[in-house]
Amino acid sequence: MNKLNISVTESRRRSRAIIVMLTLTILVIAAFIVSMNTGHIRLSPIDVVKTLFGWGTDKQHLILFEFRLPRIIISVLIGAGFAVSGAILQGLFRNPLADPGLLGINAGAGLMVTLYIAFLRDNSSANLFLLPLLALGGAASAAVLIFMLAYKRHKGLLPTRMILIGVAVQAGINAAMVVLTLALDPEDYQYVSIWLAGSIAGSNWKYVIALVPWIFVLIPFAMIKSRSLNILNLGDQMAKGLGTPINRDRIWLLAAAVGLAGSCVAIGGGISFVGLVGPHLARRLVGPQHQLNIPTSALLGALLVIVADTIARSFSSLPTGIIVAIIGAPYFLYLLSKTK
């Protein structure tokens, strides 16, 4: 009877998760369509359809294909990447406050990209594709530093200690970036400041091509390792008892989280809170199982960033990252007040 009840409960949970994911997919598609029709220069739905099928004017083709579509696609990819990175980190360290932005991983990636912009930036395609690699190196360096400082012998990684050290490391890296940007000429300073705030403006198809491999490889990898993430979430002793190679799986999953965060920072700048809000809402909607939590987080992250970018592009002059922070910061304070 107990097995039957568990089976029924599991079936209901999966059915609910499928409905939630289908609903979120519809919302993302709707936001995508609305975003194509929204901007300082308005295109009606009929104009968008005509342009998509090659019947629009040259001006409409330029607006849709060269300005709006790359930016919208990057918004979706960045939102999904940050959210899945946060879901992995929250699962690894069993802490709902774990997030690549709060842990200093985004700041580490941002420092490397800022150094690149300050001293080596040019407009060649080769250097554009180098950005995610540089960001990955910075993110990995920050992650290694944080986890080395947070690790205590015989106790392992302490979640609260890790959060506090991550905040401290992030503050130190941000201070270094401030000093660095003050030495820039006015043009580079403006570019770096807007980028650090989380701006997707100026995106083109080269940025899409640079980001797609990271998202399309690392998110499926996280899905493949979702069972291991579920087991690691039970604690090291239980995971060892179930025969899981915890150190190897933790390293691979951590590398995936760092890779996702670093590549997204390289293209979209310092967009915060997506990796915190997305996984937490997903856990409330579909439960803690990462087979369901990771795709739901990706959809929620994509929806959050595309909505924020549409608002930023249409109704304000603020960077996308500021709009996301306006949405995410109150939720973070709520989450912090509810966390023991």
Q: Would you call 200 exposed, middle or buried from its count of C-beta atoms within 10 A (0-12, 13-18, 19+)?
A: buried
Question: How confident is the model at residue 88, as a pLDDT?
Answer: 92
For residue 21, the number of C-alpha atoms closer than 13 Å in the C-beta half-sphere is 17
Question: How confident is the model at residue 340, as a pLDDT?
Answer: 56
Q: Would you call 59 exposed, middle or buried from its count of C-beta atoms within 10 A (0-12, 13-18, 19+)?
A: exposed
pTM (2 decimals)?
0.87
Question: How confident is the model at residue 158, as a pLDDT?
Answer: 66
**Which residues contact residue 7 at a Cβ distance below 8 angstroms, ignoring those fewer than 6 apart?**
none
Contact between 237 and 248 under an 8 Å Cβ cutoff? The reply is no
Question: How confident is the model at residue 270, as a pLDDT?
Answer: 79
d(CA 100, CA 78): 13
3-state secondary structure labels for all residues of the chain: CHHHHHHHHHHHHHHHHHHHHHHHHHHHHHHHHHHHHCCCCCCCHHHHHHHHCCCCCHHHHHHHHHHHHHHHHHHHHHHHHHHHHHHHHHHHHCCCCCCCCCCCHHHHHHHHHHHHHHHCCCCCHHHHHHHHHHHHHHHHHHHHHHHHHHEECCCEECHHHHHHHHHHHHHHHHHHHHHHHHCCCHHHHHHHHHHHCCCCCCCCHHHHHHHHHHHHHHHHHHHHCHHHHHHHCCCHHHHHHCCCCHHHHHHHHHHHHHHHHHHHHHHHCCCCCHHHHHHHHHHHHHCCCHHHHHHHHHHHHHHHHHHHHHHHHHHCCCCHHHHHHHHHHHHHHHHHHHCC
Burial pattern 102-127, b for ≥16 Cβ within 10 A else e, equals: bbbbbbbbbbbbbbbbbeeeeeeeee
Tokens found for residue 78: 């960045």
Look at residues 249, 228, 110 and name the one whose alpha carbon lies nearest to residue 180: 110
**Which residues contact residue 140 at a Cβ distance below 8 angstroms, ignoring those fewer than 6 apart?**
108, 255, 258, 262
Tokens found for residue 288: 């803690």
Question: How confident is the model at residue 128, as a pLDDT?
Answer: 63
Question: How confident is the model at residue 121, as a pLDDT?
Answer: 65
User: How does pLDDT run along the chain (340 residues), one tens digit per residue?
Assistant: 545 555 666 777 788 889 999 999 999 999 998 888 887 777 777 878 888 777 877 787 888 888 888 999 999 999 999 999 999 988 887 777 778 877 788 888 888 877 887 777 665 555 666 777 787 888 888 888 887 887 776 666 666 677 788 888 888 888 888 888 777 777 777 777 777 777 786 678 888 988 899 999 999 999 998 888 888 777 666 666 666 667 778 888 888 998 898 888 888 887 888 988 899 899 888 988 889 999 999 999 999 999 999 888 877 677 888 888 888 878 777 766 766 5
Question: How confident is the model at residue 52, as a pLDDT?
Answer: 79
Question: How confident is the model at residue 223, as a pLDDT?
Answer: 93
Contact between 38 and 310 under an 8 Å Cβ cutoff? The reply is yes
Question: How confident is the model at residue 235, as a pLDDT?
Answer: 66
